[in-house]
Chains A and B, each alone.
Chain A
Amino acid sequence: MRQIRFTVNGGRYEVEVRDNERLVDVLRNKLGFKSVKEGCGVGDCGLCIVLVGGRPVNSCLALASRMDGEEILTVEGLGSAEHLHPLQRSYIEVGASQCGYCIPAALLVTHSLLSRKSRPSADEVRLALRSVLCRCGSYLRFEEAVKVVSGDE
């Protein structure tokens, strides 16, 4: 066991974790960030993606014990019902959410992309989102949502 300190969505947390404990389990079960989904546990599907220092990370492959001092963002920290993040609003507007299960991961990946590049090309959006599987096939909707936010539409 070891004590780690990190911030999640701006809040500071101090948690005791086992050396082999996965970040996804700590976020979901110990801290209650249920937006983080697990779809395969081996890094194939990307549903468990969170942003660590602004970069997408598969939280099923990341050890919580390595997260000391990191800043983590989950969708709970992106916006609220009263103050939706522009990306959240555009996802709703363009009909990007179908079953909804991959939406937290897709939002975080597109958010990370937009924070690095304000007007990404369609190819850049696709390359970034390649890490998230969406069986409902909302990929073109995600692309559209990014366009709306980056002012291309």
Chain B
Amino acid sequence: MNEEIGRRLREIEEIRDFFVVGKKVARVDALDAVLGKPVYTSDLITGRPLYVKAVRSTHPHAHIKSINISKALNMPLIHAVLTYRDIPGLNDAGSLIPDRPLLAYEKVRHIGEAIALVVGEELERVEEAADQVEVEYDPLPVVTSPREAMRPDAPRIQDRDNVVTHFKIRKGDVEQGFRQSHLILERTYRTQHIDGLPLEIEVAYSFWGSDNILTCISTMQNPFDVYNKVAQILGMPKERLRVIQAATGGGFGPKSDETPIDVAAYACLATLKTGRPAVSAFTRGEAMTVQCKRHPFEITHRVGVSRDGRLQAWKSTLIEDTGAYISKGHLVIGRATFHCTGPYEVPNVWADGYCVLTNNTMAGSTRGFGAPQSHFAAEMMMDELAAELGMSPAEIRRRNILRVGGLTATSQKIEDPGLEICFERALQITGFERRYAELKSRKDWPIRRGIGLALLYHGNTLGPEGDDFASVATWVNQDGTVTVQTGLTEFGTGAITSLIIVTAETLGIQPDRIKLERPDTLAIPNSGPTVASRTTPIGGRAALDAAVKIRQMVAAVVSEILGVGAENLVFRESKIYPRDMPSKSISWKEAVEACHKLGLELKASGYYIAPPTKWDPETGQGSPYNQYTFGALVSEVSVDMETGVVKVDKMTAVYDVGRAINPLGLVSTYESGSIMGLGYALLEEIIHEDGRLLNPNLHTYIIPTTVEAPSKIESVIVESPGPMGVYGAKAMGEIPVVLPAASIANAVANATGVFIRRLPLRPDRVLSEIGNLKY
């Protein structure tokens, strides 16, 4: 970065008087959405493509004795039936770890694993033919419990130990801490599989495009992951492949993992074999079977506190079921373990996190990435400790929360007061302490009310999970409009609008003058994955870098015209003027024209990479993240003591976003995560029985509807800028989904006096847990 850019960056960071940032801005894609424009993958299919359907395993664990495709191949309108033998390149589709064949050979390891692909005309004919592919299995013992899978004599899922990762935190002397404790509690918490469930189902459309390039349009979070992997599978030089992300109807994690690679590879293989355009699309049931789920966890905490409620020692065992292939399980366990004590200062910590293979369906990235599980357990533990000590949940937190200078479980020093501010604001807005005490003493029947609190810290962006970089290309068109293109994707989070806002702010123009080009591997360099709530903080820095470079080019020209030093020019409200003489301005449009007359191409690439983070894998000690998002959530619930039905009446969500780049977008994100988290807390569970799925459909897997949504969600924005994100912004996309389970479960405990340590809090579970409890 040259001096001038550095100076400008510092200047911008110091600005408080933003022109666009923090103002109400409509999302760039909202107009298309309300007009119902054909922007999603399946809207873009033309002509009569071939369809591709996968033949999927009907056993969760078995040797494949034979695959007989001849019957299917001879059916009318069928063009090809492909098995692992027909893969020209590498038969591996694992998004990060190369442990997952695109098409199974020798063995299947979970239900629904793809074995063959049927390609033909008319979807119904192809589905019929897929039923005629004969697979002979030799069943193997099925391992579905991670505890069983951890035993040395357990059947192996892959040709490796079932325990993939043993993640450790060793801080201080935990046994010494227990000896100093007045009270020691040990509790086990369990969470379930859920499906992130983007409503747009996986679909990919491939065809030979111009210049003999195999082109694939699809719905996904990470076009470059798909691009790199599919090229490898096809055994094709990368320059002959092009991947374009169409508008994407929801991501939530599953669309960053395995299935986008699968559908794209299926379609591309079919096009490669037949020369024809091809469409590969999952059904809802297929998607719910093979999409990566949220990992189920079993978390055991043994925690010691002093008489006055100060945490002395915290020992945890976290066991994570990642299913038959690793996907992102080895990283999710890391995030969960790093955050296992909750946002509290504990002098002595010992934690063991295990990522374990089983014959269940794969788990991977799901919004929150291990944080919802670890916060559920830690935040309930805090309430249980408070209850045992006869202390309020607020007071025990007040005595232990991470304040400025406090040390996390990894001994990372906290740099900003975001958590304290969120905590106190949440208490004050909800009158938590008074309400909690009042509701605790009431014994209403049958509807009992409760209020619950949970606090959050969330290590920002990738940290130890990968290279945290982004790139953005920005150019100015002749008419003064600006185009921004990046490989970071929009799939509902609204973060791409933040990149537009940052660009608009820097160039001093309105956001509606800025257009967005679709992510296209042919046009732009890799921008890293769109995961970990990275787009605003990290992508924003890259957008800022590109915009600052353009601004510099324009400033040099305007400086000549106005006879003022470039460093004294202000770009604001579509004008450029000397700082001390606003009346002597020229318009943005005039400036752009002047640049074009000089033959200056106003185009720049922006890049940012976060500083590397360091921690010791043997002790977990160090600084795994560059900054933390903080937050507090208060849920108010009604529990029907006769039916066990829990209703969330109100949520008060207070998050430290660092800097509110797009406040309207933040309100949507707060509500979105709160409601998705409510589903995790109360309703959702993908049920496996001996490795088979019982409810891969939307009538027995229930996600929240309008009826379950709280009557009110109060969204409170706290700004305690972080050192890394653009203008101090912190990661926010995933964050609001993390706390609802903890805060709702704590509210139910406030209402009923019973801590229910297993999710979801379905009526039957609530009833059996409150059991004999009668007024």
> Are A35's CB and B36's CB within 8 A?
yes
User: Across the interface, which residues of A come within 8 angstroms of B492, CB to CB?
Assistant: 98-100, 136
Measured CB to CB, the nearest residue on chain A to B698 is A44
Residue from the set B31, B668, B697, B712 with the largest chain A CB neighbour count within 10 Å: B668
Contact of B197 among A36, A96, A107, A135 (CB under 8 A): A135
> Are B34's CB and A107's CB within 8 A?
yes
User: Is A88 part of the binding interface, using a Cβ–Cβ cutoff of 8 Å?
Assistant: yes
Measured CB to CB, the nearest residue on chain B to A125 is B706
Q: Is the interface of A mostly helix, strand, loop or mixed?
A: loop
> Are B673's CB and A137's CB within 8 A?
yes
The verdict on A136 contacting B250 (CB below 8 Å), with A34-B43, A92-B31, A99-B198 known, is: yes
Interface mask (A120-141 → B, CB under 8 Å = 1, otherwise 0): 0010011101101111111111
> Are B699's CB and A99's CB within 8 A?
no
Measured CB to CB, the nearest residue on chain A to B675 is A137
> Are A97's CB and B697's CB within 8 A?
no
Chain B positions 667-716 with a Cβ under 8 Å from a chain A Cβ = 667-668, 671-676, 697-699, 703-707, 709-713
> Are B200's CB and A101's CB within 8 A?
yes
A34–B266 alpha-carbon span in the complex (Å): 24
A51–B576 alpha-carbon span in the complex (Å): 50
> Are B30's CB and A92's CB within 8 A?
yes
User: Across the interface, which residues of B come within 8 angstroms of A126, CB to CB?
Assistant: 706-707, 709
User: Is B581 part of the binding interface, using a Cβ–Cβ cutoff of 8 Å?
Assistant: no
Measured CB to CB, the nearest residue on chain A to B197 is A135
User: Is B494 part of the binding interface, using a Cβ–Cβ cutoff of 8 Å?
Assistant: yes
Measured CB to CB, the nearest residue on chain B to A88 is B34
User: Across the interface, which residues of B come within 8 angstroms of A95, CB to CB?
Assistant: 26-27, 30, 494, 664-665, 667-668
User: Is A74 part of the binding interface, using a Cβ–Cβ cutoff of 8 Å?
Assistant: yes
The verdict on A139 contacting B250 (CB below 8 Å), with A76-B35, A95-B664 known, is: no
> Are B29's CB and A100's CB within 8 A?
yes
User: Across the interface, which residues of A come within 8 angstroms of B38, CB to CB?
Assistant: 34-35
User: Is B32 part of the binding interface, using a Cβ–Cβ cutoff of 8 Å?
Assistant: yes
User: Is B15 part of the binding interface, using a Cβ–Cβ cutoff of 8 Å?
Assistant: no
> Are A130's CB and B707's CB within 8 A?
yes
User: Across the interface, which residues of A come within 8 angstroms of B712, CB to CB?
Assistant: 140
User: Is A53 part of the binding interface, using a Cβ–Cβ cutoff of 8 Å?
Assistant: no
> Are A98's CB and B34's CB within 8 A?
no
9 residue pairs, one from A and one from B, having the closest CB atoms: A35-B36, A99-B492, A101-B249, A137-B675, A100-B33, A44-B698, A75-B36, A34-B38, A97-B33
| Sample (28) of A-B pairs whose CB atoms are under 8 Å apart | A34-B43, A36-B36, A37-B200, A39-B199, A39-B200, A45-B199, A75-B34, A76-B35, A79-B35, A81-B35, A97-B27, A97-B30, A97-B34, A99-B200, A99-B250, A99-B492, A100-B29, A100-B32, A101-B200, A101-B250, A102-B199, A126-B709, A130-B707, A137-B671, A137-B673, A139-B709, A140-B709, A140-B712
A45-B199, A137-B672 are known contacts; what are 17 more A-B pairs with Cβ within 8 Å?
A: A39-B698, A79-B34, A84-B34, A88-B34, A95-B27, A95-B667, A97-B27, A98-B672, A99-B492, A102-B199, A103-B36, A104-B36, A126-B706, A127-B706, A135-B252, A135-B676, A136-B668
